Structure formats: C-alpha cells, structure tokens
Structure 1
Amino acid sequence: MLRRTLLASAALGLGLTLSGGAAMAAGMDKVKACFVYVGPIGDGGWTFQHHDGALQVQAAYGDKVELQWQESVPEGADAERVLTQMALGGCNIIFTTSFGYMDATNAVAAKFPDVKFEHATGFKRDQPNVSTYNARFYEGRAVQGTIAGRMTKSNKIGYIGSFPIPEVVMGINSYYLHAKKVNPAVELSVVWAYTWFDPAKEADAAKALIDQGVDVIAAHTDSTAPLAEAAKTNGAVIGFGQASDMVEYKDGPRVSSIIDNWGPYYVKRVGALLDGTYEQADAWEGIAGGEVLIGEITAAVPAEVKAEAEALRDAIAAGTYHPFTGPINKQDGSAWLAEGATAPDGDLLGMNFFVEGITGDIPQ
C-alpha cells in the first residue's frame, strides 16, 4: 500500500495553493461529506486521526453536514467500487485518505464531475474536481530527532520505515540530522516493515531494533505496537506516538508524538462548499499551518531538552528555521545543500537518498 507520495511533482504546491477551477457560484444548504479509510478507525494512528478530523467537521457544522465513511478499503479495484457507490449515494465531497487511492480517485472523479474529490498525499489532479492535500511530517521528525539525540544512552537510535518512498525517506533523514546535530556520536538503524498497518510486523521491527541496542525508536507505521514493545523494556527504551498522540503510553515509553491534525483542513474544505467559495487546490501544510502538531513532551524528558525541542518547534512554525538547511551531504559524500541553503520542495518530494552518516541502503 503506497498511500504517500512516490515521485516529485512540479505541480505540488506550497500551503493551500489554488491550482485552477472556478469557485462555486453558490453555496449549499447541506453537504454530505464522505471518507474512505485504508485501515480501521481503531488503528490508534493514521486512520484514527483522519476520522477525528471528520468528527471535527460534524462538530463545526452540526446538521448542515451528513457524514459517511468506510473503513479498511483496499487500494485498487475495491477503492474504485467504494468511491462509485459513494458518488451514486449522494456524497458531495469524498476524501480518499491513502496514497494508493490516487488513480481510483481520478478515474471515478471523471465520471462524476459534480462531486468534489480530495486525495490525501497524492499529486495527480487529472480532473478539475480533484484536489490534493498533504502534511510536512518531516518537521515533526526534526523535533523527535532532537529529543532522541539528547535522550539516548547507547547512542543508538532507530526508525521503523513503512515503505521506501520519499515521505518516509525525508522523515528518516530529518530525524537523523537533528539527532546528530545535538549528539555527534549517534548512530541510526532503520528496519523496513513494508506495511502501513500490521501490528505483528511492527512489533517484530521494534524487537529487531531493540536487539541491536537501540534505546529510542521512531516509527512511520500506524499502530501502537512499537510503543507496546518498548513498554516491555521497563523504561530502557523510549519512543514517540505516530500520527496520533497515543496517550495510552504517556506514562510509559511515549515521550512525545507527531499528531496529524487533519480537522482544520476538512473543516475548511467542507465550509467552502457550504459558502460557495470552494476551488480546486493543492495543500502541503506543516507545523505553521497546524496540520502537524507536536504532542505533549512528558516529564521523562529533562526540562532543558524539552525547552530545546519546543524552541525548534517554534522556530519551524515561525519560518525562521527549515529542517533541511545546509551544509548537508548525501550518503555518498557528494554535496547536496550548501551552507545556509534550504531544500526545495521538489527535492523533498522526490527524495530517494539518505544523508551522510546513515548506514545501509534504501531498498529498491
């Protein structure tokens, strides 16, 4: 399942960039907003947060909105069938919340030009009624890397990768760069789970890292299984909530989290249908836009480390710091970013290399 961006696209814009399509001439009295989820709502991570965003829409507009959703929809032919049923069932706007829904979204959109389609983490907008949206998760990884670099006792930190695609690779690089910045002795181990949501595989990946001596784990998968494995070490291993806050582990290994806050975007887009201002768009927001939140940093983190991490978060939000600021070399030692230069979005969206200092290869 490849729900995240596989290739750079020059059309991917910054923030909420209008990319054509006339605004609706008139608003609507009521909107039926529909959501297609790749996993179960109870995954505790990715799908949980998308559904929380849907509920924020209901809370914002009350009886002006009717919600419909379907969980655990496979990417492929099943997705096209579900989308067609939703469009025939009167959905005015359909949010497809996984990268692998991209082709199905555009195919069904072509058949239902009066229905609005919003695709998460994709780049294709082949139809004027298709918009795309994403989040700058790498910004949160910078904050986590800072905590990891300061907190590790073994100088070995780990990362559970889902699939070797640019979104994940840029997260790994950001995590490592910021850990290395505060702890030059740090080493990073990466284990690929090849899944978005499979608690057993995620637990196995965490075990593999722990067996290597890793004592701080970040995960780019959707369940709480890596934190559950860390909890078995009686405080020897810490980790982070991924996609949602994963508060059930706050009194254990979870020292902070990246929270995907889709609610404001969903509220904005449904609101635009209601008031008649809806236009085709492409959004890529981060900490500044409120789509990436840093969950509470717990008391397990020393006060000075917490302050350092929060200062980094605030600098990213203010636009005074970019997580990919040179000098940065690629893994092979070749120059990538010069002193003071920041990474263009196109480089990030197509990132297919590790930065200097990370060992191991990116699977092809």
Structure 2
Amino acid sequence: MTNPSPFRSVPGSGAPRPVAVRPLTGSWRSLDWYVQETMAARGRGEAQAIVGERWRGPDTSALTERAARLARDQVEPVALRLAAISVNCGWSEVLTDTRSAAPGVPDSFARLWAVVAQRLGTVRFGAAPLLAVTNHSGAGLAVGGTRREPAVIWSDSTSPSRIDLFLAALARVDALNASSVATACPLGHVATLRRGSVLGVLNHVRRAQEYVQDLLARALETVARTPCAAVGVIAARTLVADAAASGVPPRLVTPAAQGLEAVLGVRSPIGVPPARRHLGHQQVRELVMLDRVGERVRAAAVWPAPEADAHIKAVVAVRRSNALLRLLADTVVDPRAAREFTRASRPSRPRADGEA
C-alpha cells in the first residue's frame, strides 16, 4: 500500500502500515530546492513562474522518465514535495478528469505528477494526507538515533507558521481517528459479535473524539495568534478550496477519517470527491471491508439496546470534531474566524438592574 497513513496496522485487518518518510536521494533532491523556492515566493504568480521555469529544463524532464523506476520507499517523499509545490502555486487540481494538465499547470509538471500518482495507486493523490499525515507523523521523535523533523515546513524562522501548526494538528487528529478504526477492525472478522463488543468500540470512538476536540481547541488558540507568510496562506487557501458552507473541505478528508465514518455506518459512498481524491485501489478495498463493519455496528445500534445511544453520541462527537477542524482550517486562512467564533461562543454577561 503506498498512499499515506490511512489506518493503523492491525494483524489480520488488512490495514496498511504507516509510511516512513525518508530524505530524497540523487537527482530527486532538486525537488527540495524547488519547494524552498516556491515557499520564498512573494505570491502565487511568482511561485507559478518559478515552477514554469524549472520544469522547462532537462533536469526535470529526466525526473519524469525516472519516476516509473523510483524505489518504493521514495514514492511518498517525492509525492510530498510535489504536493507542497502545487499548493504553494495555488493549484487546487494538477490533472483534469482526462488526466491532462489543469489550466495554468505546466505540462511537464503534470506529467511527473501523473506518473507519481500512478505509482501511488490513485489518479489524484491528496495533498493534505501527504503534507499533514505523512509529513508530521512521528515528527520530533527519535527514529534510529536521529531526530526526525517534518520534511516540508513553511516557517522561515524558529517559530512555526499557522499552516505548519495546522498540518501538525491534522496529523494528530488522524492518528486518533486511526486508533478508533483499528479498534473496530476486529468486528469484521468474527462470525458472532460478543455482547458489548460494539458498545466498546462506540465508547472508544466517543472518548477519542473528546481528545480530538481538546486538541483542536488548543490548536485554535495557538493558530489564531501565530503569523503566516503569504505563500503559507496561499497554500492554506488551496487546501480548503471547493469547501461547502460547512463541513470538512474535501482536501482535508484523510483516508483515516473516511475509515472512521465507515465503521460508524455514515460514510459517503465511493466516488464522491473526497474518496476519489485520496484513495488508492487497496484502500478502496479496505473501506469496503470497513463498510461491512459499519453495517454490523448499525444493526446492533437499535433501540432499546444501549448501543443505540452510544452510536448517536459517537456520531455527534465526530461531527463536533469536524466542525472544529473546519474552523481551524478557516483560521489558518484568516485568524478573524477564530476571534468571531470566540465572541459568538462566549456566554453573555447578565445585565445589571437598570442597564439597557
């Protein structure tokens, strides 16, 4: 499985293992330079001009030829850099439905994107799972005696920018959602459900979402008072593009989030934009398995069984988390979103006697 970190690995669950992000090697290291160049751009037009110039040269043409032969452990690192470049340029799509370059995207960049996407197993690999989950999972932990930092960061100083904080929070949310999916996976591998097994899963989901909401609330306070360079705001706007009036923007719906909805029996069907954007073939098969888990959960969650009340509470908790995640995403683009939310949620002061 090559798409990044959809579910925590569970023996017998079919869930893929987390992806380890390794540094680029050889000629692929030039992608790190191109990422930094687009991050230093003063605006979207300048970032696009940089990519247009770099992808006219022979070096980048050679990368496209080599992409089909990339070592398996280098596919995600390459895709991660391409995702960062694309959001810095404000490209919400790189390939059209016919797999040609989207308007404004250099053909040579789109060709490399298409080859890497094929290696990942999905036509449109998702920027958010790569930039958040793959980039930030395990960041700061000692791995093999070395400290691993995110491969891609927008901060140009020792203090992170709003988008870095946001993507780190999204990675932590993804890990909590993945743990709930892992807890539910065994329900699909038993002939008869044990009494209380579904209730235990639903209670786990609710408790995990309490952690998620606390995490997002704290991130909201920090992000709202953290600066962000212009290109970071452009990248954030690209990630939240095509969002509905409410709910999580499509590019921020990670495979683990879809897995969580599946085990609760509330997942959108395969084929809607969030699913099509982020899932490889293997992940689609895994979600079909999780859909069957969701069917068993819904069958057990009928009144007057205690599972019914637990199911409602779990679904409501996920929706509350999604609302906070959407608010956090909006705050990265414009910190006033958090301030307006704070004012709206602050309890009104009782009026004194005679006060108008």
Task: State the TM-score bracket (shorter-chain normalisation).
Answer: under 0.3
The structure carrying a bigger helix percent of its residues is 2
- Greater C-alpha Rg: 2
TM-score, normalized by length of structure 2?
0.27
TM-score, normalized by length of structure 1?
0.26
